[in-house]
Structure 1
């Protein structure tokens, strides 16, 4: 048994170092495998009418099939859900950086339009292309920063709180990693340790530290993209939109320039509440009552911590004063 365990440990280490060498400049396996897939397509496409569609971070729907529909916790959606339920207090993020997010239904419409454009290009030229068309679908023409994303999320999150919230909303983007780590240790891990200790004492299974382990792993992936500015060109997509008729532009709405972010975020946050947290809007009256209790608990806790910090500071200053006086 010992030798088997040792062999498995060695295999895991070898696999880790192999992946590390393969990644090179790539931040994670997700981006690396996408690049590999694109390279394979370029080499093996032959005479096939091929194009590459690169969407930005895809979040909930704008209008179709339902407003605010979403089924995953990737990217900013996981951050909004964690912050709204009181689990997440900080993320390592430069708030002035533009968040390249696009609605799911607009992305699908753009993908369909790109497929139509690729087919037309192939028919008109009647030959294969050495230069495969690449369509970047980004929010460059209607930009929004991470700070603006946070402000709109908190605005509508505070209006529609969830009954599943465990604490009041207190979230911030921290540009400096050292500040973010302070929040991680004192506002994530320390409370989780205290809660799990109390849970074990009551004879129950501790869960909060495991939850934060998953959250921090997810945030480490997101940090790479949220701490630096990214520049994309979308000239090819602009050219495509010029080819669409007014009817097609309406049926396959995908122009980010016509998107109202304020309207969008109202349904986006409601969608997270309903479709991800599984908390229907019928419970809103109960949620608001609970939200008020959490708010006052949060304020009382801040007062206690401020008092403890002042007492500690006074004790340190008094000790130093007496020491130097002697």
Structure 2
């Protein structure tokens, strides 16, 4: 798996600056298995040789059986802590959580927020209450958190601080992770999760509406800036034992805010300039906030008419032409994904984030360049355009050379689509 899925990734092939990949050694394991599923030999090797640990393995699906999240995100983290507790050379342990572990609060400081019960009791109550996260008892236990993922991360944070505060531990909380700003290439992305997937569906003309507060800050952080930040944090934790940070937010809303409306508008401009050759209908209009009953009704009508009915119509045409039906299935998956995102696109949080810049601003200019992670220097317009182009290049696998052809195609699609709407209106 190391060679086939990781080292062959474009992360390494797009920008290979003589990387010493031969130094990477893989060990077999499973974060949800007892003892991480490590063999005795691998465990002894790690205990004897490792000095810096980055723990980011987790289930990042937002919904699902709570017991699965506890097994992977809580017990898995506990197993990592137990392993690290035995390491003879350990200098830094970086645990990657999420800025939304305490999203029931609208202002979140760089500290661990204690649960009503300790972590062990919370786990016991969660497992005895049942798997239904919509039950009254479970909602009370989750203390306002919207899903199993954020709840499991809050439990894990409490677990590591309760039992392993003697370790050189720092908890890092990124906000919404988005495609790369620089490395391995501007806009690089390899999955359709989160913002990239939503923008992709919009750029294809499939998505026409989503619950978004266009006036709220979109707290986004590019994946390569997170990676660089983690390296810097790991170095600082090991090199400055007397100045260790307990919690560090990797967020953008305070230092370099951009609203959802502005970010989506920037992305739409890029999609107009370089449309996808696979676009099925024209882009939706500029996004507007769904404020009040009128906005809500407009959203629901658009969702059912322009998403659901359109999907059935397209599948009917595909069937008549002898092709496999797919649009209804895509639309259902899109709605499920949007339901997950909408809690985070319709609200706004304030994440205090001075701890990282206390570290970053003491780096040399050369290290700041090599480990680019200063969100204050990000131009959101340029980034949004590159993000869209990244989804076009790396998710849709479309070369920039077909942009002119795509623009011609969308001209005809727009003409026929508008004629179709005109006929329906009659």
TM-score in terms of structure 2 length: 0.64
* Structure 1 stretches lacking a partner, 5+ long: 1-13, 309-326
Give 2:264's aligned residue. Answer: 150
Q: Aligned partners of 1:50 and 1:220: how far apart in 2?
A: 34
Give 1:47's aligned residue. Answer: 166
CA deviation map 1:70-113 (0-9, x unaligned)? 11222221111001001000011110000001111111111111
Note if contact 1:91-1:173 (Cα within 8 Å) is conserved in structure 2: no
Give 1:295's aligned residue. Answer: 414
Give 1:275's aligned residue. Answer: 394
The Cα of 1:16 is off from its aligned counterpart by: 4.6
The reply to whether residue 220 of structure 1 matches residue 318 of structure 2 is: no
Q: Aligned partners of 1:221 and 1:200: how far apart in 2?
A: 31
Which residue among 132, 157, 171 is the counterpart of 1:17? Answer: 132
Note if contact 1:90-1:173 (Cα within 8 Å) is conserved in structure 2: no
The Cα of 1:146 is off from its aligned counterpart by: 0.6
Give 1:183's aligned residue. Answer: 302
The Cα of 1:163 is off from its aligned counterpart by: 0.9
Note if contact 1:85-1:162 (Cα within 8 Å) is conserved in structure 2: yes
Give 1:159's aligned residue. Answer: 273
* Structure 2 stretches lacking a partner, 5+ long: 1-128
**Greater length-normalized contact order (CA 8 Å, ≥ 6 residues apart):** 1
Give 1:197's aligned residue. Answer: 316
The reply to whether residue 260 of structure 1 matches residue 376 of structure 2 is: no
Question: What is the root-mean-square deviation of aligned Cα atoms in Å?
Answer: 2.1
Q: Aligned partners of 1:15 and 1:119: how far apart in 2?
A: 41
Q: Aligned partners of 2:369 and 2:176: how far apart in 1?
A: 23
Q: Aligned partners of 2:395 and 2:381: how far apart in 1?
A: 21
CA deviation map 1:180-206 (0-9, x unaligned)? 111110100011112223434455442
Give 2:111's aligned residue. Answer: none
Give 2:120's aligned residue. Answer: none
Distance of aligned partners of 1:203 and 1:184 in 2 relative to their CA distance in 1, 3 Å threshold: same
CA deviation map 1:291-326 (0-9, x unaligned)? 111121233234334x43xxxxxxxxxxxxxxxxxx
Provide the secondary structure at the position in 2 that maps to 1:71. Answer: coil
Q: Aligned partners of 1:280 and 1:41: how far apart in 2?
A: 46
Give the 4+ runs in structure 1 shifted more than 4 A.
Answer: 18-21, 201-204
Give 1:89's aligned residue. Answer: 208
Aligned length: 288
Query: Looking at CA atoms only, which structure, 1 or 2, has the larger radius of gyration?
Result: 1
Distance of aligned partners of 1:121 and 1:45 in 2 relative to their CA distance in 1, 3 Å threshold: farther
Q: Aligned partners of 2:416 and 2:382: how far apart in 1?
A: 32
The Cα of 1:210 is off from its aligned counterpart by: 1.1
